[in-house]
Amino acid sequence: QQQVKQSPQSLIVQKGGISIINCAYENTAFDYFPWYQQFPGKGPALLIAIRPDVSEKKEGRFTISFNKSAKQFSLHIMDSQPGDSATYFCAASRAGGFKTIFGAGTRLFVKA
Amino acid sequence: GAGVSQSPSNKVTEKGKDVELRCDPISGHTALYWYRQSLGQGLEFLIYFQGNSAPDKSGLPSDRFSAERTGGSVSTLTIQRTQQEDSAVYLCASSFWRQGVSGANVLTFGAGSRLTVL
- Please indicate, yes or no, if residue B11 is contained in any of the structural domains: yes
SS (H, E, C) B23-39: EECCCCCCEEEEEEECC
CATH code at A4-111? 2.60.40.10
pLDDT at B53 over 90: no
How high does pLDDT run on average in chain A?
A: 93
- Please indicate, yes or no, if residue B109 is contained in any of the structural domains: no
Give the torsion through C-alpha atoms of B68, A46, B105, A75, to 10 deg: -130
| Residue A49 to residue B102, Cβ atoms within 8 A | no
B1-22 pLDDT, tens digit each: 579 999 999 999 999 999 999 9
Rounded Cα gap, residues B90 and A86, in angstroms: 19
Nearest to A92 by CA among A34, A51, A5, A22: A34
Q: Where are the domains of chain A?
A: 4-111
Nearest to B26 by CA among B100, B110, B117: B110
Q: How many CB atoms lie within 10 A of CB B64?
A: 14
pLDDT at B70 over 90: no
Q: In the structure, what pLDDT confidence band is assigned to residue A96 with cuts at 50, 70 and 90?
A: low
Instruction: State how beta strands B88-95 and B113-117 pair.
Output: antiparallel
Q: What is the largest CA-CA distance in chain A?
A: 44
Shortest CA gap B82–chain A (Å): 23
Q: What is the domain count for chain B?
A: 1
- Please indicate, yes or no, if residue B107 is contained in any of the structural domains: no
Rounded Cα gap, residues B80 and B74, in angstroms: 19
Shortest CA gap A96–chain B (Å): 4
- Please indicate, yes or no, if residue B20 is contained in any of the structural domains: yes
Cα-based angle A46, A50, A54 (whole degrees, multiple of 5): 165
Rounded Cα gap, residues B13 and B71, in angstroms: 29
- Please indicate, yes or no, if residue B116 is contained in any of the structural domains: no
| Residue A34 to residue B98, Cβ atoms within 8 A | no
Is A57 in the B-facing interface, judged by CB distances under 8 Å?
no
A13 versus B103: which is more confidently predicted? A13
* Domain containing residue B11: CATH number: 2.60.40.10
State which residues form the domain around B49.
Answer: 5-98
A79-93 pLDDT, tens digit each: 999 999 999 999 998
